[in-house]
């Protein structure tokens, strides 16, 4: 299964915005490999911004962290065609454009799931199912991912 990761999941993995979520996040992320993991370029940029502005990390440390995540995944660039799809998605479902870019990138990369808290758990668009790893009732795709 190919999985895309949203910014909030990476922030939790780094111990930000709720150390309570970090163990659950790492349990899921540890099951992924660079071959089956997609991190949109948009997400990497958002992560850098969060690390520097909100967490007050030094820019060099944040850059190193972003590079580590980039190396642990396949990237998806925000192309003109991807942006067009994201704008359509944002209009159709009244989503913030930044979230729509991430979901469009996951669809472009042919992902099965997008790990995120920013959408309704179970929302499906163009074959990508949004899975919130912290939902009270985990989506079956999360269960399949973490079960040995």
Q: What is the pLDDT of residues 15-72, one digit of tens each?
A: 987 677 888 889 889 989 999 999 999 999 999 999 999 999 999 999 999 999 999 9
For the chain, the domain total comes to: 1
Give residue 24's pLDDT.
84
The pTM of the full predicted model, rounded to 2 decimals, is 0.91
- What backbone phi and psi angles, to 5 degrees, belong to 119? -130, 170
Give residue 147's pLDDT.
67
* Domain residue limits at 43: 3-146
Alpha carbons 124 and 113: distance in angstroms, whole number: 9
Give residue 148's pLDDT.
61
Give residue 18's pLDDT.
66
Alpha carbons 17 and 25: distance in angstroms, whole number: 12
Q: What is the CATH number of the domain that holds 110?
A: 3.40.50.1010
- Strand-pair partners of 3: 37, 113
**Confidence category of residue 135, pLDDT binned at 50, 70, 90:** confident
């Amino acid at each position: 299964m190919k999985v895309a990761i949203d910014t909030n999941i990476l922030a939790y993995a780094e111990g930000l915005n709720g150390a309570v979520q970090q163990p659950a996040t790492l349990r899921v992320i540890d099951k992924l490999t660079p071959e089956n993991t997609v991190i949109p370029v948009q997400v990497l940029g958002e992560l850098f911004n969060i690390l520097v502005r909100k967490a007050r990390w030094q820019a060099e440390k944040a850059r190193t962290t972003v590079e580590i995540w980039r190396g642990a995944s396949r990237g998806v660039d925000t192309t003109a065609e991807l942006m067009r799809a994201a704008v359509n998605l944002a209009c159709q479902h009244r989503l913030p454009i930044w979230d729509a870019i991430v979901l469009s990138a996951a669809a472009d990369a042919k992902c099965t799931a997008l790990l995120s808290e920013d959408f309704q758990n179970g929302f499906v668009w163009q074959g990508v199912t949004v899975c919130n790893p912290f939902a009270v009732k985990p989506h079956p795709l999360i269960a399949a991912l973490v079960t040995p």
